[in-house]
Amino acid sequence: MTITTTKVHNFSAGPGILPQEVLKEAAASCLNFDNLNLSLLEISHRSKNYEKVMDEARAIVKELFEVGDDYEVLYLGGGASLQFAMVPYNLMRENGSAAYVNTGVWASKAIKEAKIIGNTKVIASSEDKNFNYIPKGYDIPGDADYLHITSNNTIFGTQIKQFPKSPIPVVCDMSSDIFSRKVNAKDFALIYAGAQKNMGPAGSTMVMVKKDALGKTGRKMLSMLDYQVHIKGGSMYNTPPVFPIYVSLLTMKWLKKNGGIAWIEKLNQQKADLLYNEIDRNSLFYGTVEKADRSNMNLCFLLNKPELEPEFDKLWKDAGISGIRGHRDVGGYRASLYNALPLESVQVLVDVMKEFEKRLG
């Protein structure tokens, strides 16, 4: 059996796959946006045509998350990495503290930045087992200003399945699983996400913040790092990343049109079940994560015989599969099943794994 194809099955961990119809509409906007005979890349971000994009992009986040006017939505530059600093800068009181759960590389980076701002307590960590599980049953200090968690860990393939009940405001980095499943967004004081993994292209970061969480730090704020300044400016205090925001809007409209969060959650579960079942069944592979904490977005697995990697690599490349090499901190393979990845692509990978076992198992 030879598995070959001209279609590329994109399992990249990020920037991740986007819907084809979104890419086509975005490409057209680069030549003629909103029937202006001007490129989206050329027009003023202060024009009515682009202000309409920004307003709609902010509104649809609140619609998908089912929150009201007590929340504000921002689109900022700097990636989620800038939010590692902005969150404590805006939410941690000058003489206060924050609680963090360390579940991987990005959580560790967030902790590092928060420690520069103020008293940062790591109240739970899975570092002892190379982040292959999600800590549970930890105590949350009631006197901290907020709790910071990371919903999905792209590198290590873990995902929080049940969010903690917290006596203090909860901040969540949802960069790699935003809009992939139903969450009660009202349980969070702030949600942020770099767009490039599951929401849009690289270059924009979405922040949704509860208004009453702000203005309590007691510090004099730098304008560019102050959420309230960006809120007052309608997310356009400075020139926003116009194209990434537009493509993110198109992606969210695609999601809404097809059935919203309920639809994509069901599809994402089907994709994850299909691949995890093969990982567990196939005698040549094994998963790296405790089963209860397995991510539905980033599925990490290894070969029982690492010396067979060249043969497996040739097989999946011949099948038109791209982007499944694992991160250097884990090794092996990582298949990212973001919203726009079709079930068909997962089936192709599963077929390759079955064929590999047939030949060398």
The catalytic residue positions are: 106, 173, 197
Alpha-carbon span 172 to 186, nearest angstrom: 12
Q: What is the largest CA-CA distance in the chain?
A: 67
- DSSP SS3 for 325: strand
Q: What is the CA radius of gyration of the chain?
A: 21
Closest CA to 114 of 81, 140, 75: 81
CA 30 to chain CA centroid, nearest Å: 26
Closest CA to 118 of 140, 141, 93: 93
Query: Hey, how many other C-beta atoms are within 10 angstroms of the C-beta on 339?
Result: 27
Rounded to 5 degrees, φ, ψ at 209 are: -130, 140
Angle separating helix axes 242-257 and 260-281, nearest 10 degrees: 90
Rounded to 5 degrees, φ, ψ at 56 are: -70, -40
DSSP-H helix ranges across the chain: 20-29, 48-65, 79-91, 105-117, 227-232, 242-257, 260-281, 309-318, 343-360
Contact between 196 and 14 (Cβ < 8 Å): yes
Measured at the CA of 101, the angle between CA 185 and CA 207, to 5 degrees, comes to: 35
Task: Specify the amino acid at residue 94.
Answer: E
Alpha-carbon span 333 to 299, nearest angstrom: 8
β-strands 321-322, 9-10 pairing:
parallel
